[in-house]
Amino acid sequence: MTFRSARWMIIPVAAMSLSACGINSVPTKEEAAKAKWANVEAAYQRRADLIPNLVETAKGASQIEQSTLEGVMQARASATQIKLSTDDLNSPEKVQAFQQAQGQVTGALGRLIATVEAYPTLASQARFADLMTQLEGTENRINVSVQDYNGAVQDYNTTIRTFPDIIGAKIVHGAKPMTPYRAVTPNANQAPTVKF
């Protein structure tokens, strides 16, 4: 076998070796995680856009305490002030600040729901029931989006830490782990207590 023919055999072997080193898989998985984060943001934006309409309708259909509704609006306003770009996903502090702002909205919505449950006549009103269904659906969308994002982050973080992708991740891309979304509300795993 001559050097010339051996050289042509090296090219496909080298190409296959490089393809197994994270050259393509690392940016592909990073972009997938960023796309999932965009879905999380879209779900939170939907909630932020929906809340004013929910509150206005609830004001007109019932006598819910004004302070509860104002708390929801204030939490929503605070949450929309904090923006998190895909470039900030490597910063645990920025992700935590975003999560805390969204946690305040979740807490305010929990108080709103507890108030509604304390006054059962409100829940029987068709308009209010429809709004509660919309709110529940929105919270479910947020939950699914967060789970999808965390799955994509786990996939990306595993890829950049395992062989052979770690080679391309470190040398070519300078990849850093992404921060998963975590519950920041204390005792978030416990259902809220409704008191009459």
Give the tens place of pLDDT for each residue, 74-124: 777 776 777 777 888 888 888 888 888 888 778 777 776 776 666 555 444
Output the pLDDT for position 154. 92
pLDDT of residue 151: 92
pLDDT one-digit tens code per residue, 137-183: 888 888 899 999 999 999 988 888 888 887 887 877 788 888 888 87
User: Whole-prediction pTM value?
Assistant: 0.58
CA–CA separation, 5 vs 98, rounded Å?
58
Among the listed residues 73, 42, 52, the one whose alpha carbon sits nearest the alpha carbon of residue 141: 42
What is the DSSP track for 65-76? -HHHHHHHHHHH
Q: What does the pLDDT read at residue 124?
A: 44
**Contact status, residue 141 vs residue 119, Cβ threshold 8 Å:** no
| Residues 6 or more apart whose Cβ sits within 8 Å of residue 113 | 132, 135, 192
Between helix 25-61 and helix 126-161 the angle, nearest 10°, is 160
Helix residue ranges, H only, 20-171: 25-61, 66-81, 92-118, 120-123, 126-161, 165-167
33 half-sphere exposure, CB direction, 13 A CA radius: 29
Q: How far apart are CA 167 and CA 159, in angstroms?
A: 10
Say if CB 188 and CB 44 are below 8 A apart: no
Give the pLDDT confidence score for residue 194 in this predicted structure. 42
